[in-house]
Amino acid sequence: MGILLVLLFLSLATVNINEGCIDSERQALLMFKHDVTDGANRLSSWSLHNGHGDCCQWYGVVCDNVTAHVLELHLANPRPLLDDYGSDAENEAMERSKLRGKINHSLLKLTHLSYLNLSQNGFGGIPIPDFIGSIESLRHLDLSKAGFGGLVPNQLGNLSSLEYLNLRADIEDNLYVTDLQWLSGLSLIEHLDLSDVNLAQASNWLQVLNTLPFLKNLYLSGCQLPQIPPPIHLNLSSLAILDLSLNDIENSLGGSIFHGLVNMTSLRHLDLSNNLFNSSIPESLYSLDSLQFLNIGSNKFRGKLSSAIGNITSAIDLDFSDNELEGPIPITMGNLCNLKSIVFSELNLNQDVSTILAVLSRCVSNQLDKLHLSGCHLSGQLTNQLRNFRSLKELDLSRNSVSGPIPISIGELSSLRVLELDQNQLKGQLPSSIGKLTNLEILDISTNLLEGVVSETHIGNLPKLKVFQASKNSFVLRVSPDWIPPFELELLGLRSWNVGSMFPLWLLSQKHLWYLDISGSRISDSLPGWLWNFSSPFQYLNLSHNQIHGQIPGTPWAMSVDSVIDLSFNILSGPLPQISPNVVFLDMSNNNLSGSLSPLLCYKLEETMGTVILNLGGNVLSGGIPDCWLNWQNLQVIKLSNNRLNGSIPSSMGALQSIVSLHLRKNHLSGEIPLSLNNCTDLVLLDAGENELYGNIPQWIGDSLRKLVILSLRSNKFSGYIPDELCAIGSLQVLDLADNNLIGSIPRCVSKFRAMAKFNGSMGTAISYLIDAGTFLATIVMKGQMLEYSTNLNFGEKHRFV
């Protein structure tokens, strides 16, 4: 009794003396703190000052109530993992609250540590410390996305008490293993996540996993799993979650997994998406009684959908999208009464949409959240069965051949957040019941045959709308001039609408708009200055094919990175504006812009322009081509055709090392073609026709521009012989040198070029071209007649010998 009391007293005294925690463990934690960088000062309570000495009270530390040993360290980044939509401020905060630096092996002193969580910190690519394998008391170890890189230490195999191990990596950290044998030491493991750890060298991975009797949750997404098919009987009968997505697994390996599925009777969650399976769907999948989540999307599964799909009665979430599977959706799918999500996009269902709605109306329609059937070759019409699907949050029927009207009953799907009906053959008016879908965030009805008035009744009560894409219909917009919409759009597409002659003023209220397409929408207003001072920078701005007049303000438009501006086919006048270096695509062609190229080309000489495509053709630009190309190294396409440019082609254009397509046709350019252009060895198209260029046709064209497909120097003042060197350009398909002062005979090889052969070698053929992302649309003017010659001159093939 007395001894017991003394012992009790002694142990209490120890606790008291050490202010609630064990001294050696406190020291260990302080050493740990000393070695990490703690940008957000998360470990400020880890200190001996101000009566903080009880380490059991420190941030993230959990001690045993009786023995005061440190049991748990919760040091994960407290900021939630953000996706790409996180604001800069949120991402910064996340970065700041990362622990960085080194991990002191003083942690070994925490002899009772059973839980260590360092997830989402930033250890900058250092290896996982070996000594962690010696903290034998560990049961939960979470080092996910903590910035560890390099070889995973085998020593982790000594953690024989481990039940939970998460090493999920970021691909850029290059975390890898050479062998997984050590895993067999984790005989109690239940939860194992090695996603994005490179297992390519671990040829025995499946055999090793097969020896872990308690394994329940297995995540091996993006592990570059080796393909050697292990001849193995899988007995992973406790598995509840199996994620093998993103591994390029082929059927050879998959076979043994599918075979083993028969025994995985507890499987609830199976993700095989983004692999290379190309067989039919194995029958073993349909016998999984407990399966709730099944994703086989983005593979090459083939064959008809089997009626056995109706056996997976516990299914909640099915994703079969993007495979080579064929329809129809079997009637038995109507038995799956627990379904909430069906993602079957990009399958060849080849079915009437109303049949599918009927099948699903059997028992599941009133609880389904998500129905994605985009690009499934669906036909027929949407019927009032739609009203059965009253829980739907997402309906995607885009890219099918659904016809007929949008039923009025669509207004009853009051939970809808996403409605995508674009690229179908829907006819008639937009029902005003759309206006009842007050939860709608994304509405895409573009590229249909819809018509009629769209007014505030339709869109005036959709406060959450972020995306309204309705381009390529015959809609007329009718809203009051002082309308202030309830929504804050990010994307707006009204291409080929009739929005009225005035620039829609309500756009001013849209503070987050970054995509605006109001091309071909019958605007005949002047370009409003407020577009320049718009609250958000645009990424895509298409105002083309209107009657917009007036000048473009000289100061550059604030644009976001990799942005696109299309102002073509308007009647804009005045000088060229400056543009932001962020613009990759700039089309101001076919306007009435005048003056010299300098304001645009020579502005901001100290900055490299991101512009890849520049089209200024079809204006009344004059003066010389300035010597300002050094900052435009990214240009691949330049069109200056149909202007009034004079002077010579400046040598500095030889600096355009990326140029693929150069159009100078129909100006008043004179002089010789500068030798520096022999630097532009990627040129595929060179059109300098209808100018006043002279001299010989340079022989270096044949020597250096070996990728040319189209070369036109027609209607100039070139003289001398056609150099034989042109024959060396194996890719040449169109050669037009007509209407010059050339003498001598046409080199033999020329008759073999495709265009020449096609038009009987006639040198009187005039050709003008447009290059659009690798596709040539060539208009051939022959014998005074215009022939639309719209063809893909295929770069890959050699058409030279017809």
Task: Decide: is 773 part of the binding site for ligand NAG (CB under 6 A).
Answer: no
The DSSP string of 402-440 is -EEPPPGGGGG-TT-SEEE--SSEEEEEPPGGGGG-TT-
Q: What separation, in Å, do the N-terminal and C-terminal C-alpha atoms of the chain show?
A: 109
Least distance CB 759 / ligand NAG (angstroms): 29
Nearer CB in complex with ligand NAG: 286/506? 286
Selected range binding ligand NAG among 230-238, 436-444, 709-717, 720-728, rule: CB under 6 A: 230-238
3-state secondary structure of 728: helix
- Cα separation of 405 and 449, whole Å? 9
Least distance CB 383 / ligand NAG (angstroms): 30
Neighbours of 557 (CB within 10 A): 21
- Check residue 299 and report its DSSP letter: S
Binding residues for ligand NAG restricted to 563-622, rule: CB under 6 A: 564, 566, 571, 573, 585, 592, 594
Give the H or E element holding residue 744: none
Give me 702's structure tokens.
């044949």
Q: How many residues bind ligand NAG (CB under 6 A)?
A: 62
Cite the beta strand spans of 536-691 per DSSP E: 538-542, 549-551, 559-566, 571-574, 583-587, 592-595, 613-615, 620-624, 637-639, 644-647, 661-663, 668-671, 685-687
Nearer CB in complex with ligand NAG: 409/591? 591
Give me 300's structure tokens.
């090459």
Distances (CA, A) of 397 to 377, 449, 456, 656: 10, 15, 25, 45
Binding residues for ligand NAG restricted to 11-70, rule: CB under 6 A: 31, 34-35, 64-65
Task: Decide: is 122 part of the binding site for ligand NAG (CB under 6 A).
Answer: no
Task: Decide: is 375 part of the binding site for ligand NAG (CB under 6 A).
Answer: no
Among 165, 175, 234, 264, binds ligand NAG (CB under 6 A): 234
Name the residue among 344, 329, 343, 293 with its Cα closest to residue 314: 293
Residue 557 and residue 579 in contact, taking contact as beta carbons nearer than 8 Å: yes
Least distance CB 501 / ligand NAG (angstroms): 16
Nearer CB in complex with ligand NAG: 682/739? 682
Nearer CB in complex with ligand NAG: 545/714? 545
Per-residue x/- track, 178-217, ligand NAG (CB under 6 A): ----x---------------------------xx-x----
Nearer CB in complex with ligand NAG: 558/763? 558
Task: Decide: is 526 part of the binding site for ligand NAG (CB under 6 A).
Answer: no
Task: Mark 390-409 as b/e (b = at least 16 C-beta within 10 Å).
Answer: bbbbbbbbbbbebbbebbeb
Name the residue among 421, 456, 417, 420 with its Cα closest to residue 440: 417
Task: Decide: is 777 part of the binding site for ligand NAG (CB under 6 A).
Answer: no
- Cα separation of 226 and 229, whole Å? 8
Per-residue x/- track, 285-324, ligand NAG (CB under 6 A): -xx--------------------x--x-------------
Least distance CB 155 / ligand NAG (angstroms): 3
State the residue number with the nearest CB to ligand NAG.
Answer: 529
Name the residue among 451, 437, 438 with its Cα closest to residue 387: 437
- Cα separation of 529 and 550, whole Å? 10
Task: Decide: is 696 part of the binding site for ligand NAG (CB under 6 A).
Answer: no
Among 25, 38, 142, 317, binds ligand NAG (CB under 6 A): 142
Binding residues for ligand NAG restricted to 84-113, rule: CB under 6 A: 102, 104-106
The DSSP string of 203-248 is TTHHHHHTT-TT--EEE-TT--------------TT--EEE--SS-
Task: Decide: is 546 part of the binding site for ligand NAG (CB under 6 A).
Answer: no
Q: Which residues bind ligand NAG (CB under 6 A)?
A: 31, 34-35, 64-65, 71, 76, 102, 104-106, 117, 119, 133, 140, 142, 154-155, 157-158, 164, 182, 210-211, 213, 233-235, 250-251, 259-260, 262-263, 278, 283, 286-287, 308, 311, 495, 519-520, 529, 532-533, 542, 544-545, 553, 564, 566, 571, 573, 585, 592, 594, 651, 654-655, 676, 679
